[in-house]
């Protein structure tokens, strides 16, 4: 069974995807972590984010591995654990640039499909999982929420991770990322192709229950 969960930053999709996967006892795939890992390496190797060839070389030579656990995703790049480093504000920003690079997307989409085939059943979370990576998924969801609410969630997460930023900085960063993410290479599904859930006024556990209900219905058809 393949379930896709797409949506903008701060829509709650990572937490929801993890919980749904745990309830169904299937794998969870955090595809944003793969894009983050490539961006992190570009920053480490001082590759200019406008240097297409440099970025492509990085993605081709990288060995990314993921361990998506019930609370956190551990990310290894060429054998080094970069799980915390990829969550910095600098990496956030760089990721939304490199994710626009078609060659990067091609390589990572290929890796995601391979992982999907190996795992068999999974909840895959990102921006293009239902539209590009797994167009034949059994159930597709898009989570959304208004930008203030998304910024509030991100702000609390970052405070909990000890990242020192103001709410306004987080809000501004989200605005920039929304602009970059809504590009043709990471199309979010349109209404009708997926179940769209506005999470602004819902608790995480309520969203999880709604999704599980839909998955049950999809499985009975």
Write out the residues near ligand DC by the rule CB under 6 A: 9, 31-32, 35-36, 95-96, 99, 126-128, 177, 181, 186
**Given the complex with ligand DC, which of 128 and 144 has the nearer CB atom?**
128
**Given the complex with ligand DC, which of 111 and 121 has the nearer CB atom?**
111
Backbone angles phi, psi at 48, to 5 degrees: -65, 135
**Given the complex with ligand DC, which of 136 and 221 has the nearer CB atom?**
136
The secondary element (H helix, E strand) that includes residue 196 is: strand 195-198
**Given the complex with ligand DC, which of 42 and 213 has the nearer CB atom?**
42
Q: Where are the beta strands (DSSP E) in 10-133?
A: 27-30, 64-68, 73-77, 80-81, 122-126
CB of 129 vs ligand DC, minimal distance in Å:
6
How many Cβ atoms are within 10 Å of 46's Cβ, its own excluded? Answer: 8
Helix (H, G, I), strand (E, B) or coil at 27: strand
DSSP label of 89: H
Distance, CA of 113 to CA of 135 (rounded, Å): 11
Question: Contact 45/94 with Cβ under 8 angstroms?
Answer: no
CB of 135 vs ligand DC, minimal distance in Å:
13
CB of 95 vs ligand DC, minimal distance in Å:
4
**Given the complex with ligand DC, which of 28 and 35 has the nearer CB atom?**
35
Q: Which residue is nearest to ligand DC (CB)?
A: 32
CB of 124 vs ligand DC, minimal distance in Å:
8
Helix (H, G, I), strand (E, B) or coil at 162: coil
């Amino acid at each position: 069974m393949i379930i896709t969960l797409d949506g903008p930053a701060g829509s709650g999709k990572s937490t929801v995807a993890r919980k749904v996967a745990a309830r169904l006892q299937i794998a969870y795939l955090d595809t944003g972590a793969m894009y983050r890992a490539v961006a992190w390496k570009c920053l480490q190797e001082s590759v200019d984010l406008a240097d297409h060839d440099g970025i492509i070389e990085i993605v081709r030579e990288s060995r990314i591995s993921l361990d998506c656990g019930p609370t956190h995703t551990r990310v290894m790049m060429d054998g080094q654990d970069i799980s915390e480093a990829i969550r910095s504000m600098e990496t956030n920003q760089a990721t939304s640039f490199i994710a626009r690079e078609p060659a990067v997307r091609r390589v990572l989409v290929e890796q995601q499909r391979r992982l999907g085939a190996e795992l068999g059943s999974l909840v895959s979370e990102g921006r293009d999982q239902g539209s590009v990576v797994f167009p034949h998924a059994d159930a597709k969801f898009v989570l959304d929420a208004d930008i203030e609410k998304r910024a509030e969630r991100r702000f609390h997460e970052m405070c909990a991770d000890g990242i020192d930023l103001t709410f306004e900085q987080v809000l501004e960063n989200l605005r920039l990322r929304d602009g970059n993410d809504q590009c043709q290479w990471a199309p979010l599904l349109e209404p009708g192709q997926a179940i769209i859930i506005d999470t602004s006024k819902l608790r995480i556990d309520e969203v999880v229950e709604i999704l599980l209900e839909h998955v049950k219905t999809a499985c009975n058809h």
